[in-house]
């Protein structure tokens, strides 16, 4: 999470929230210039044919990568990474630039304002339920409700998992014409990529509420998609993503001692 210079005297509100934690050695702050001096650099490469990812090497923070989701009207930058260097900017421009930024939840706000400025003050779309997490001085375009189309064929879908405003991006065509969901870790792709998971807190192992999971699965059932892209390189479900979400939710509910079919009655 990027804050204005001088705001780093106290703890980061994201770190002290119960979903995260402060490093055992204490809160640490850095700057983009220091990261570059320490050898961090941007990395742009294909996640799958037709879909490019943007990450940082070596891994920074939790090591997530963003996605450049193409379509009519330009690319959407889905989620965000901390480091924005000249090489990354140049490569993203070669790939068509950025027409809009959409963020799944506050853990990936990162340097969203810097990315917006670099690509012509493009809009940053954040669900209104998460506005309280937006850092001072950041300009965002809040949205509300269940769906918000930001560019043709790419719509934000509110699921409310992980954070109150937790959202995914439905890409109507997907890279193969069969639809895709860019999910960050709102619906997270687990190491066994036949499955996904649902959590309120990952490091502190707090499960998502069953009612939230049921509602999220019902909402996603209204969308056509065969692939689902998580927040990290290679965390992808391809071919049967929708059935994977449904069976994963059923497994999750069973292990909480609940009837996975109860919401259908």
**63-98 per-position pLDDT tens digit:** 999 999 999 999 999 999 999 999 999 999 999 999
Residues whose CB falls within 8 Å of the CB of residue 166, separated by 6 or more in sequence, listed in order:
104, 105, 127, 130, 158, 159, 160, 186
User: What's the pTM?
Assistant: 0.95
pLDDT in tens, 1-44: 888 877 766 788 999 999 999 989 988 889 889 999 999 999 99
Establish how many alpha carbons lie within 13 A of residue 122's alpha carbon, considering only the half-sphere containing its beta carbon: 21
Compute and round to an integer the Cα radius of gyration of the chain: 18
* CA 76 – CA 82 distance, rounded (Å): 17
Q: What is the mean pLDDT of residues 145-171?
A: 98
Cβ neighbour number for residue 231 with a 10 Å cutoff? 23
């Amino acid at each position: 999470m990027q804050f204005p210079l001088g705001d780093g005297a106290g703890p980061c509100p994201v770190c002290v929230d119960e979903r995260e934690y402060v490093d055992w050695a204490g809160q640490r702050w850095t700057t983009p210039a220091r990261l570059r001096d320490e050898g961090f650099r941007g990395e742009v490469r294909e996640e799958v044919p037709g879909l490019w990812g943007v990450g940082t090497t070596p891994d920074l923070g939790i090591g997530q990568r963003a996605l450049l989701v193409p379509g009519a009207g330009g690319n959407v930058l889905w989620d965000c990474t901390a480091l924005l260097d000249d090489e990354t900017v140049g490569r993203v421009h070669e790939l068509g630039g950025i027409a809009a930024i959409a963020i799944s939840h506050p853990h990936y706000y990162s340097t969203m304002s810097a990315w917006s400025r670099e690509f012509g003050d493009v809009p940053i779309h954040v669900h209104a339920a998460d506005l309280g997490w937006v850092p001072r001085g950041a300009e965002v375009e809040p949205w509300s409700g269940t769906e918000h189309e930001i560019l043709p064929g790419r719509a934000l879908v509110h699921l409310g998992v992980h954070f109150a405003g937790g959202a995914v991006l439905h890409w109507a065509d997907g890279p193969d014409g069969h639809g895709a969901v860019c999910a960050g870790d709102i619906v997270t792709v687990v190491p066994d990529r036949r499955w996904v998971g649902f959590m309120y807190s990952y490091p502190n192992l707090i499960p998502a509420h069953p009612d939230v999971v049921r509602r999220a699965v019902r909402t996603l059932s209204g969308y056509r998609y065969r692939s689902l892209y998580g927040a990290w390189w290679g965390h992808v479900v391809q071919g049967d993503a929708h059935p994977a979400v449904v069976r994963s939710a059923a497994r999750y509910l069973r292990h909480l001692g609940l009837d996975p079919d109860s919401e259908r009655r």
